[in-house]
């Protein structure tokens, strides 16, 4: 274990509220954050989503800071603050200053883009705001996290649609294993509820009109969400030296590309990512107890993902607990895989598997144990968190439980 990478801090913003406590409570209860959208244009067909309701930026930032903080950057900074505090890392500690920060996003600063285009095209103005570029660029969240938390090590963004957060987590893990840093703050953030982006999602025709029902016969598509998930990773030696609480070990990462269709999942690519994660983690299939599935609630994904699990796990697939937390926090795009990693780390830590909410009857090709509607208390010695993005970009992260004398006390 001496060369391992461990999880020592968690933070999140989601449709369930601000903070890990509200997030975990909502997941365990199967209390979906999906609700009617308010204040939207009449011509939008997308009428529901998992938004951060009642969010007030001024409660978290001073006015001067907000001039440079797009909504997706705000969520990243808030979740990062919580994760670093949870890990017991003060901003002025040398290990925090030398840490890496890798933040994934699928969309970047869409709120800033929308405001700019409204001014130029709707209101006929001839100039954009002078801070448009630094506020809306995809790397803005990573830069703002670095600036607000005093992180001066390697800082950059990953952009791989809904696998962005998972790719950021894998990059942090690999940098620690390579000896580049001892601490990495990693995760994903997105805020996709803008008129233009909702119109774009309408055009894809994959968004549900009522709710998200992964793996169910009457599933009708995704429901968008927003938020951020942030994780503090450390080398095991560094965490043990400072007596940090440990949630779980990030045992391995499996990455693959389908090199095929831009939106249709490929079972072969999914299989390769899962097998790579198991191999990198030094785990065998029978050791996995729980899988936090990509589970979008689309016809194509849920069947392909189920088939891949059968191919990788064989007869053990029937013993797996498989759930999709997107049924609760929505599909938060680049943030989803990070939020789901937080959920998986907490499932390992607590020995409690969150359910697939809104589940009705299993759909065709969906024949596994999807932990329907009710959380399940069970030992989770090892688990996977899976993300399969548009473009055929797959990322699977393997977590393993940690000896109880070192685990976090939350």
Same domain for 150 and 282?
Answer: no
Comparing C-alpha atoms, which of 320, 321, 301 is closest to residue 371? Answer: 321
- 341 backbone dihedrals φ, ψ, rounded to 5°: -65, -40
Q: At what angle do helices 336-350 and 164-177 cross, to 10 degrees?
A: 60
Euclidean distance between CA atoms 197 and 199, whole angstroms: 5
Same domain for 138 and 183?
Answer: yes
- Over residues 306-358, the pLDDT tens digits come to 999 999 999 999 999 999 999 999 999 999 999 999 999 999 999 999 999 99
Comparing C-alpha atoms, which of 375, 34, 368, 39 is closest to residue 212? Answer: 34
DSSP 355: P
Residue 406, SS3? helix
Active site residue 331: yes
User: Residue 397 falls within a domain, yes or no?
Assistant: yes
Out of 162, 173, 212, 366, pick the active-site residue.
162
Same domain for 201 and 170?
Answer: yes
Domain stops at, among 173, 206, 241: 241
Euclidean distance between CA atoms 321 and 103, whole angstroms: 29
Same domain for 60 and 206?
Answer: yes
Instruction: Tell me how far the alpha carbon of residue 262 is from its chain's centroid.
Output: 21
245, 8 contact by CB (below 8 A): yes
Tokens of 264: 């249709």
- Tell me which H or E stretch contains 200: helix 195-204
User: Residue 81 falls within a domain, yes or no?
Assistant: yes
Locus of tokens 């796990």? 313
Same domain for 186 and 141?
Answer: yes
Tokens of 89: 């890392």
User: Residue 372 falls within a domain, yes or no?
Assistant: yes
Same domain for 117 and 204?
Answer: yes
Active site residue 167: no
Euclidean distance between CA atoms 5 and 58, whole angstroms: 36
- Find the CATH number of the domain harbouring 169: 3.40.47.10
Instruction: Tell me how far the alpha carbon of residue 258 is from its chain's centroid.
Output: 21
Same domain for 233 and 265?
Answer: no
Out of 148, 294, 329, 349, pick the active-site residue.
294
Domain stops at, among 241, 270, 292: 241
Domain stops at, among 241, 271, 303: 241
Same domain for 170 and 260?
Answer: no
pLDDT value at residue 409: 57
Same domain for 159 and 258?
Answer: no
Question: 386-403: buried (b, 16+ CB within 10 Å) or exposed (e) per residue?
Answer: bbbbbbbbbbbbbbbbbe
Out of 167, 280, 331, 349, pick the active-site residue.
331
- Over residues 304-318, the pLDDT tens digits come to 999 999 999 999 999
DSSP 269: H
Count up the domains in the chain and report the number.
Answer: 2
Same domain for 133 and 203?
Answer: yes
User: Residue 409 falls within a domain, yes or no?
Assistant: no
Active site residue 162: yes
The boundaries of the domain holding residue 224 are 5-241
Comparing C-alpha atoms, which of 180, 172, 335 is closest to residue 253? Answer: 172
Tokens of 277: 């994660």
Q: Would you write out the chain's pLDDT as a tens digit for each of its 410 residues?
A: 347 999 999 999 999 999 999 999 999 999 999 999 998 999 999 999 999 999 999 999 999 999 999 999 999 999 999 999 999 997 767 777 899 999 999 999 999 999 999 999 989 999 999 999 999 999 999 999 999 999 999 999 999 999 999 999 999 999 999 999 999 999 999 999 999 999 999 999 999 999 999 999 999 999 999 999 999 999 999 999 999 999 999 999 999 999 999 999 999 999 999 999 999 999 999 999 999 999 999 999 999 999 999 999 999 999 999 999 999 999 999 999 999 999 999 999 999 999 999 999 999 999 999 999 999 999 999 999 999 999 999 999 999 999 876 666 55
pLDDT value at residue 3: 77
Same domain for 125 and 228?
Answer: yes
Same domain for 234 and 324?
Answer: no
């Amino acid at each position: 274990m001496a060369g391992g990478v461990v999880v020592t801090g968690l933070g999140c913003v989601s449709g369930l509220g601000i903070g890990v406590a509200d997030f975990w409570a909502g997941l365990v209860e199967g209390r979906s954050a999906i609700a009617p959208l308010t204040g939207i244009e009449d011509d939008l067909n997308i009428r529901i989503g998992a938004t951060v309701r009642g969010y007030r930026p001024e409660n978290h930032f001073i006015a001067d800071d907000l001039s440079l903080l797009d909504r997706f950057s705000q969520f990243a900074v808030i979740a990062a603050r919580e994760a670093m505090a949870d890990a017991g890392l003060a901003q002025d500690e040398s290990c925090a200053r030398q840490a890496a920060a890798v933040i994934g996003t699928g969309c970047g600063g869409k709120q800033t883009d929308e405001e700019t285009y409204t001014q130029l095209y709707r209101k006929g103005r001839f100039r954009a705001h002078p801070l448009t570029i630094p506020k809306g660029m995809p790397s803005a969240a990573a830069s703002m996290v670095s600036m607000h938390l005093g992180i001066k090590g390697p800082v950059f963004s990953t952009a791989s649609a809904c696998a962005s957060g998972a790719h950021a987590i894998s990059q942090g893990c690999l940098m620690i294993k390579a000896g580049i840093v001892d601490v990495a703050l990693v995760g994903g953030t997105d805020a996709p509820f803008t008129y233009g982006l909702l119109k774009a999602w309408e055009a894809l025709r994959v968004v549900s009109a009522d709710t998200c029902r992964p793996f169910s016969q009457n599933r009708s598509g995704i429901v968008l969400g927003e938020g951020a998930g942030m994780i503090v990773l450390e080398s095991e030696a560094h965490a043990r030296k400072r007596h940090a609480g440990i949630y779980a070990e990030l045992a391995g990462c499996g990455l693959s590309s389908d090199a095929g269709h831009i939106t249709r999942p490929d079972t072969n690519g999914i299989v390769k990512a899962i097998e790579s994660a198991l191999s990198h983690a030094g785990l065998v299939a029978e050791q996995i107890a729980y899988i936090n599935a990509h589970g979008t609630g689309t016809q194509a994904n849920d069947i392909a993902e189920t088939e891949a699990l059968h191919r990788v796990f064989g007869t053990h697939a029937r013993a797996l607990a498989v759930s999709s937390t997107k049924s609760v926090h929505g599909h938060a795009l680049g943030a989803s895989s990070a939020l789901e990693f937080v959920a998986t780390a907490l499932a390992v830590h607590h020995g409690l598997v969150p359910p697939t909410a809104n589940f009705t009857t299993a759909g065709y090709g969906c024949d596994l144990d999807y932990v329907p509607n009710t959380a399940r208390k069970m030992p989770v010695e090892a688990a996977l968190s899976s993300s399969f993005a548009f473009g055929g970009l797959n990322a699977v992260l393997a977590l393993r439980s940690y000896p109880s004398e070192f685990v976090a006390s939350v």
